[in-house]
Structures are given as structure tokens and as C-alpha cells.
């Protein structure tokens, strides 16, 4: 049976607004996504086991190729990778985590990734419309992550890159809330222009 993306039935025209350099929202479906819980020593060992460097502070991101780790709390880490990698990652980590009193959960099918790209001021202003965090470049530069809300939707945010005045922010969100989040982002970004690319 074919997998269906969270935003498959969303009409791009319903989100569109005109602008000279519009924000662009894309879904990045089926990202491998594991949530790990445990103490700092366990999370450091888990990162080493999957070939990633340390992410010791909350908000830190470790990355090698497509594999990333977001340190979302003192005892919470999310691993992201290419679609299909979740099975191998969980097989390597589950025994290690279980032996040390931690937990690992595969959230690949439960969540999806929305990526918002555009001029950095417009992306930051659109994000600030619904997120209570300080998203100024000094507080949330590229390479940082955070667990927060957008509107009333729980999200995991990552500032991915800023180059030539542009920024990409990735939002990990529950699949059942992805359409609501996309509509909220489109409404918040309409003054800059907005389009959804499926």
C-alpha cells in the first residue's frame, strides 16, 4: 500500500498569496525519526553509537550527512535521518538504551517535517507570529533547535541555514496537525507572499 504524505490533500491554491519573493513551504515526508529518553551519559553514548558528535546542551544539533540529532531537553534527544533508516537505527539503539534504563520510540509515521524557506526577515517574522520563543538571529541562529508551540501546535524547530539573506526552518509536527500548521503559517506569512509546493 502506498504511503500518503500528511499534506497530500492540501490544495496549494488555498494557501497562496502574492509577493515579490514569497515564502515557500514544503513537506519533507517520511523522515526517519527516533525519540530517545535517558540521562546525559546515555544520550552521549547513543550519539556515539550512531556516528554523531556530541550535542550536550539543550538546543544543540549534531550532524553528519543526512543524520541529525536535536537535543530538545536535558533527557530528550531526537534522531533524524533519511527515510528507511529508522529500522537500522532502532535496532542499534534499543538494546543499548534498554540496558541503561532509557527509552527509544520510532515516531517516523507519527510525525512529518515542514520546511519553511524564504528571506530571513520574513521567515523569522512569520515564525514569531505563532511561536513564543525569541527567534531573533542572536537567540536562534542556524544550527539551533527547540521544542515549542506554533499557535497551539507542539513543534520541534530547527534553524537549518542562513545564506545570502535567506533562512530555512524545519518544523517537526504530528501528522494529524500538519494541515492546521500549514494553514497557520500561510496566514502568518501572507503579507510577504506565500506558496506551498507539494
pLDDT in tens, 156-191: 999 987 788 999 999 999 999 999 999 999 999 999
Question: How far apart, in whole angstroms, are the C-alpha atoms of residue 116 and residue 90?
Answer: 28
| Overall average pLDDT of the 23-52 stretch | 97
Give the three-class secondary structure for 161: strand
Q: 86-104 as b/e, with b when 16 or more CB fall inside 10 Å?
A: beebbeebeebbeeeebeb
- Return mean pLDDT, the chain: 95
Pick the CATH number of 32-106 from 3.60.21.10, 3.40.50.2300, 3.90.1150.10, 3.30.70.1520: 3.30.70.1520
Domain 12-29+110-197: top CATH class: alpha beta
- Structure confidence by residue, pLDDT tens digits, 130-140: 999 999 999 99
24 has which bridge partners? Answer: 117, 195
Beta-carbon count within 10 A of 189 CB: 26
| Overall average pLDDT of the 111-131 stretch | 97
Question: How far apart, in whole angstroms, are the C-alpha atoms of residue 171 and residue 57?
Answer: 20
Q: Domain map of the chain by residue range?
A: 12-29+110-197, 32-106
Angle between helices 40-49 and 86-99 (to 10 degrees): 140
pLDDT of amino acid 1 = 62
Judge if 12-29+110-197 and 32-106 fold alike in CATH terms: no
Burial class (CB in 10 A: 0-12, 13-18, 19+), 163: exposed
Which DSSP letter does residue 17 get? B
The residues near 101 (Cβ < 8 Å, ≥ 6 apart) are 38, 42
Report the predicted TM-score, pTM, of the whole model to 2 decimal places.
Answer: 0.94
Question: How far apart, in whole angstroms, are the C-alpha atoms of residue 121 and residue 136?
Answer: 9
Question: How far apart, in whole angstroms, are the C-alpha atoms of residue 116 and residue 185?
Answer: 9
Amino acid at each position: 500500500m502506498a504511503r500518503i504524505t500528511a499534506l497530500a490533500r492540501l490544495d496549494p491554491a488555498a494557501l497562496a498569496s502574492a509577493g515579490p519573493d514569497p515564502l515557500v513551504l514544503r513537506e519533507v515526508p517520511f523522515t526517519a525519526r527516533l525519540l530517545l529518553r535517558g540521562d546525559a551519559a546515555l544520550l552521549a553514548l547513543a550519539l556515539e553509537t550512531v556516528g554523531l558528535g556530541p550535542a550536550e546542551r539543550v538546543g544543540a544539533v549534531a550532524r553528519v550527512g543526512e543524520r541529525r540529532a536535536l537535543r530538545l531537553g536535558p533527557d530528550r534527544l531526537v534522531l533524524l535521518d533519511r527515510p528507511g533508516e529508522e529500522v537500522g537505527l532502532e535496532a542499534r539503539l534499543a538494546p543499548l538504551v534498554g540496558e541503561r534504563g532509557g527509552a527509544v520510540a520510532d515516531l517516523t509515521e507519527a510525525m512529518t517535517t515542514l520546511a519553511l524557506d524564504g528571506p530571513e526577515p520574513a521567515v523569522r517574522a512569520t515564525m514569531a507570529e505563532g511561536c513564543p520563543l525569541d527567534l531573533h538571529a542572536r537567540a536562534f541562529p542556524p544550527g539551533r533547535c527547540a521544542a515549542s508551540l506554533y499557535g497551539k501546535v507542539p513543534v520541534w524547530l530547527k534553524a537549518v541555514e542562513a545564506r545570502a539573506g535567506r533562512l530555512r526552518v524545519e518544523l517537526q509536527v504530528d501528522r494529524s496537525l500538519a494541515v492546521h500548521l500549514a494553514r497557520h503559517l500561510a496566514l502568518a506569512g501572507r503579507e510577504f507572499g506565500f506558496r506551498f509546493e507539494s
